Amino acid sequence: MKQKDFKKVVILGSTGSIGISTLKVIARYSEQFKIVGLTAYNNIDILLRQVKNFQPRYVAVPRAGQAKLKAGLNGFLVKILDVNCDLPELVSRREVDIVVIGMRGSEALIPFLSAVRAGKTVAPANKEALVVAGDLLMKEAQKHGAKIIPVDSEQSAIFQCLEGRPHKEIKRVYLTASGGALRKVPQRKFAELTVKEVLNHPRWRMGKKITVDSALLMNKGFEVIEAKRLFQLDVNQIEVVLHPEAIIHSMVGFKDGSVLAQLGVTDMRLPIQYALTYPRRLPTGLKDLNFFELKSLTFERPDIKKFPALSLCLEVAKADGTLPSVLNAADEVAVEAFLDLQISFSRIYPLVEKVVRRHKNCRHPQLNDIRNADLWAREETKRLLN
Ligand code: MG
């Protein structure tokens, strides 16, 4: 392959679990991909190793981390950017083909928007941006010819099942959930749960925030909103199905009664690689599914009484407007308070619900309304915390 045939990739959040998995995929296909930019908020040591291995032209970190980065680079030539303000310019650069969004939180929204406006292929693992401003992102993507190929395993599964099918043939989408760390823990024990217990996800190794969200089924609720945006679905067309084995990553039911499912091992390298090499399928080096070892796949209805966050999310998904932004911001603050040992696990949901109920929804928000709702919800949650 000639130099110019390389797909040039920027990874936002390269030192998190998605970033690290993305680099593993790229290392395997180093003759097809070239890393142009890496960004991180902390973990400068991991970032330095990545810079030496992948030799990007640009690296973005917070100002406070730039001295340490520079010292560690030892004369290695790379342009250092500020992760807090230079991401929109970085993702829009002419030489960039694909932007992988591994960073968490709604801060991903602005660089995500810049990437779609620049007509890039965007591979988001981040769901917050799609939750708070998915309609805007999808509209802008269409307008500017940008492709959005989801990396979140469930959305990737739906994307793969839908491949080439007209939208009008979709009857419903079955969003599978492994059930998180607390599927078998009785609700009365929630108040005493330690951070470690909540972070003990049975199937996936992920960042802390998303693992707490998974334990609450809040993450699945966010994914309902995400699926609604990505595939232009009505909320009533999305059914959450507990599937503890996490082998089926989601399914699409069509008008004729046929259901297509995407199955695979629980390793994010699979959806990441699919997004990078789309529409081609190349070997991943991952283990094949062994149906004789699996023996059975099981399904349950989610327990809404035990996990009310899921129904709150469905309600928010239907109401839409600025509510998803409020839900997301309140959840970010509340989960952080739990991880900082300020509140018990059982206080996260009531706190988020209270903030959502207090918000005056703006039905057709502009970007500014979304940001104001986000700021309001953060302040309101912090006020209730104190
Ligand atoms: Mg997921």
Token pair for residue 99? 């932007």
- The answer as to whether 142 is a domain residue is yes
Partners of residue 172 on adjacent β-strands: 253
Let me know whether 84 and 183 are in one domain. no
Read off the pLDDT of each residue in 337-349 and give the average, rounded to a whole number.
Answer: 96
Let me know whether 172 and 132 are in one domain. no
- The answer as to whether 297 is a domain residue is yes
Let me know whether 314 and 367 are in one domain. yes
Token pair for residue 16? 């998190």
Let me know whether 49 and 139 are in one domain. yes
Q: What's the pLDDT tens digit per position in 128-166?
A: 999 999 999 999 999 999 999 999 999 999 999 999 899
Q: What's the pLDDT tens digit per position in 214-228?
A: 999 999 999 999 999
Let me know whether 107 and 54 are in one domain. yes
Rounded to the nearest whole angstrom, what is the distance from the C-alpha of residue 178 to the centroid of ligand 1? 10
Pair 176, 251: CB distance under 8 Å: yes
Tally of domains within the chain: 2
Let me know whether 113 and 196 are in one domain. no
Q: 199 CB contacts (<8 Å, ≥6 apart)? A: 181, 208, 211, 212
Read off the pLDDT of each residue in 319-334 and give the average, rounded to a whole number.
Answer: 97
* pLDDT confidence tier of residue 2, bands split at 50, 70 and 90: low
Rounded to the nearest whole angstrom, what is the distance from the C-alpha of residue 154 to the centroid of ligand 1? 5
Does residue 286 register a pLDDT over 80?
A: yes
Q: What is the reported pLDDT for 20?
A: 97
Does residue 306 register a pLDDT over 90?
A: yes
Considering the chain, what percentage of its residues have pLDDT values greater than 90? Answer: 92
Say whether 89 sits in a helix, a strand or coil: helix
User: Looking at residue 173, which CATH number applies to its domain?
Assistant: 1.10.1740.10
Let me know whether 180 and 139 are in one domain. no
Pair 242, 301: CB distance under 8 Å: yes
* pLDDT confidence tier of residue 202, bands split at 50, 70 and 90: confident
0.85 exceeded by the pTM?
Answer: yes
Let me know whether 191 and 244 are in one domain. yes
Last residue of a domain, one of 148, 178, 202: 148
Rounded to the nearest whole angstrom, what is the distance from the C-alpha of residue 152 to the centroid of ligand 1? 5
Q: What is the reported pLDDT for 203?
A: 77
Rounded to the nearest whole angstrom, what is the distance from the C-alpha of residue 276 to the centroid of ligand 1? 18
- The answer as to whether 160 is a domain residue is no
Rounded to the nearest whole angstrom, what is the distance from the C-alpha of residue 153 to the centroid of ligand 1? 5
Let me know whether 25 and 127 are in one domain. yes
What residue numbers bound the domain in which 35 lies? 3-148
User: Looking at residue 60, which CATH number applies to its domain?
Assistant: 3.40.50.720
Q: What's the pLDDT tens digit per position in 40-58?
A: 998 999 999 999 999 999 9
For the chain, the average pLDDT equals: 95
Let me know whether 132 and 76 are in one domain. yes
Lowest mean pLDDT among 169-178, 200-209, 232-241, 276-285: 200-209
